[in-house]
Structure 1
Amino acid sequence: MANTTNSRWPPPHPESQSHLHCFNSSPFLRGFAAGMALLLFIAFVIYSLQWLFFHPILPALRLDSLQLANFSSAAAAAPSWIVGFSINNPNKKLAISFQNLDSSIYYKDNIIAQARIRRFLLRPRNSTTLVIPFIAVSLVDESVLNDINGDLARGTINFTVVVLGYANFQISLWQWRGTNIQVVCSDLSVGFSWPPSLAGRSGQLVGGSKQCQLQ
């Protein structure tokens, strides 16, 4: 009876047993797996402590001025645009590095002027002001020009300013983490002078500074 049982269950192949034994008993593989697990745990602890102690706060941006010169009803692409911003870093320990900032001025859903903002660093609990010249878009659809001229005849035009870019939080020379930012400054009412000069009409932001929304 013993011989019959052994014939039904043949012994494992010696080579398979050897491979299984080598895998299970390899100190290198076990050490590598343990090391990776330890590194992941340490990284998680460091990240959690950073968030607990520093808790990065996104910057606050305010639009202080929007000025136009030589604004003509004949072509909205002709005027000179200048926008003034104030930016505040509310963090106690973290500086913020701003990179790849592009800004656009919208009339309704149409971009009519654009600007590139230089890279800069804002230290903890610090503020700065930026005065940015914008370049008018060369081609504006005729229907958009007609709408602008209609608003211009009433004396005020509403614009929206959008800033897109990247903000990186850092301590000293160590960069910690960053995030894409989108800042929207909406309902910017610009009043225009009358009568117009030979070069066109000038405009100023009505109602003072506007707090922008960071998304």
Structure 2
Amino acid sequence: MGDPTRPPPVTGYPACPPNGYPPPPAGTAYPYPQPSSAYPYPQPGNYYINNTDVYMNPRRIFLRRVLLVLVACFVIAMVVGMVLWVIFRPKVPEVRVDSLSVSDFNLSSNFLSANWDLKFTVRNPTKRFSLYYDDIYASVYYGHSMLLAWTSVAPFSQDSYSETPSKATFSAASTFVDNWVVEGINKSNPNVEFDVLMLARVRFKAGSWRARGRYLRAYCRDLNVRLGNHTAHSLSSGNLVGGPKQCQVRLS
């Protein structure tokens, strides 16, 4: 039986917390744990918004566009010109000496007198171009360096794949020559070798398209002429030995 003096148990109160701590206030909860501070995230930099409007001068814009158009046109013209030059590139003309005759040749002491009659042929080897020659000059040399006489040649033109004969006449009257020239001519008697140099300006034309002018240089060397025995008191003459001879031609 129970003790009548012990008070009865009280009912209706909440149970004590199991851990012995008071419960948290109503409406609250435990916060999330703070992140570790060992590797904190860097703070982002400040971002500035530039609201300044850029003002462009209309005149400057127009000039810039005009300049770009001019540069583009120049580049296109250069490319087209290079393509046309590659397609229609002309070949070097051919020059051939057909005959060379010398008359009234006389070498007295260091003074030389003679007349040269040169006949040559120029060939246009190109298929698409017509050639125009002007400012033509021809010179006669001895020993590749001693100028004896020079003259000008009439201008002419050529169609494609055509040959044009021409001629040049030279004259020397008591032209002074060095001792080595006198010795060389007397030693090679009766044959004497002359050199002929021809210079000309050449223009190439294909339809309405024209290339820029070029300069032609034709060097015809070692033209052997049999003069016979010549002395200071007699005149001699002779012709080219060995037939026609090709010349070295170069364009610049």
Q: TM-score range by the shorter chain?
A: 0.7 to 0.9
> SS at the partner of 1:41?
helix
Q: TM-score, normalised by structure 2?
A: 0.69
CA contact (8 A) 1:70 1:78 kept: yes
Q: Which residue in 1 is equivalent to 2:7?
A: none
Cα deviations by residue, 1:172-208 (Å, 9 ceiling, x for unpaired):
4653222112111111111113588x86111111111
Larger Rg: 2
Note closer, same or farther for the CA distance 1:73–1:139 as it changes in structure 2 (3 Å cut).
closer
Superposed counterparts of 1:61-210, under 5 Å: 61-74=95-108, 77-108=112-143, 109-136=145-172, 139-144=175-180, 146-147=182-183, 149-151=185-187, 154-172=189-207, 174-194=209-229, 200-210=235-245
Secondary structure in 1 aligned to 2:66?
helix
Q: How many residue pairs get matched?
A: 194
Structure 2: which 5+ residue stretches go unaligned? Answer: 1-53
**Using a 3 Å threshold, how does the CA distance of structure 1 residues 44 and 138 change in structure 2: closer, same or farther?**
farther
**Aligned residues: CA RMSD:** 2.5
State the distance in 2 between where 1:67 and 1:118 align: 20
Scaled by the length of structure 1, the TM-score of the pair is 0.80
Identity of aligned residues (%): 26
Higher strand share: 1
> Counterparts of 1:76 and 1:129 in 2: how far apart (Å)?
33
Which of 50, 57, 60 pairs up with 1:26?
Answer: 60
* Structure 1 CA distance for aligned equivalents of residues 80 and 234 of structure 2: 60
Whole-angstrom distance in 2 between the partners of 1:134 and 1:124: 30
CA distance in 2, matches of 1:141, 1:83: 21
SS in 2 for 1:78: strand
Cα distance change of structure 1 residues 137 and 185 upon mapping to structure 2, 3 Å threshold = farther
Q: How far did 1:70 drift?
A: 0.8
Q: One-letter code of the match for 2:179?
A: S
> Is the 2:106–2:235 contact (alpha carbons within 8 Å) kept by the matching residues of 1?
yes
Q: How much does 1:35 deviate? A: 1.8
Displacement of 1:148:
5.0
